[in-house]
A and B are shown apart, each in its own frame.
Chain A
Amino acid sequence: DAKTTQPPSMDCAEGRAANLPCNHSTISGNEYVYWYRQIHSQGPQYIIHGLKNNETNEMASLIITEDRKSSTLILPHATLRDTAVYYCIVRVAVGTSGSRLTFGEGTQLTVNP
């Protein structure tokens, strides 16, 4: 499985942009990068995913480098409710019918007032 590397923790001031990095240097050409977050005592929440191009939705932006070996999740205006563990995952195809998400330990983002 393609492995990801994330910093264990980050801090961000409320109202500022939070930029969460992820390295995935062994990613294959057809593997997607997914981001989830998990707020304490809740299930993981889907944020965004991408293959090659940068992506943006109502929650965040995903910037993928041209060589696809790393990506950055951007929360443009972090709030206290964005405090969570953020997981960067490479979705790996399994056989011909599905895929697998392999979670690492993620980055604990703490948004400070």
Chain B
Amino acid sequence: EAGVVQSPRYKIIEKKQPVAFWCNPISGHNTLYWYLQNLGQGPELLIRYENEEAVDDSQLPKDRFSAERLKGVDSTLKIQPAELGDSAVYLCASSLGLAGGETQYFGPGTRLLVL
């Protein structure tokens, strides 16, 4: 069974540029999560989707970050414009959801470097 797929794996951009990350969850997983992980720290939740609905986005900095999951499968996280402090690893995870089990499975992450 394929795991969570993320692309790109690495991205280097200059500050003020836009950037987007893509995530394909495990087949059949209705719940999708985006996390941010700074160096030396644990992941922090940015947003959680139940199908196509964002049900927990309280930690998402909405002035520059946006996310979408239009058909309830793939998801895109965007930053516009990027700042130096956005350099981090962006992780996507998925789960079957409350009805099927809350265990989250993570992708490999996208490592972003903003210059």
Q: For residue B99, which residue of chain A has the nearest CB? A: A97
Q: How many A-B residue pairs have CB under 8 A?
A: 56
Provide the residues of chain B in CB contact with A36, threshold 8 Å: 106
- Among B31, B41, B42, B98, chain A packs the most CB atoms within 10 A around the CB of B42
Interface size class of A (residues with CB under 8 A): 20 to 34
Q: How far is the CB of B50 from chain A (nearest CB, A)?
A: 6
Q: In the complex, which residues of chain B have a beta carbon less than 8 angstroms from the beta carbon of A49?
A: 103
Q: Is the interface of A mostly helix, strand, loop or mixed?
A: strand
Is A105 in contact with B42, judged by CB distance below 8 angstroms? yes
Judging by beta carbons under 8 Å apart, are B102 and A99 in contact?
yes
List the A side residues contacting B4 at CB < 8 Å: 43
**Once the chains are docked, how many angstroms separate the CA of A102 from the CA of B46?**
11
Decide if B14 is an interface residue (CB 8 Å cutoff): no
Size category of the B interface is 20 to 34
**B109 to A, closest residue via Cβ:** A43
User: Does B55 lie at the interface of the complex (its beta carbon under 8 Å from any beta carbon of A)?
Assistant: yes
Pairwise interchain contact B42-A87, C-beta atoms closer than 8 A? yes
Q: Which residues of B contact A106 (CB under 8 A)?
A: 42
Inter-chain contact A105/B41, CB cutoff 8 Å = yes
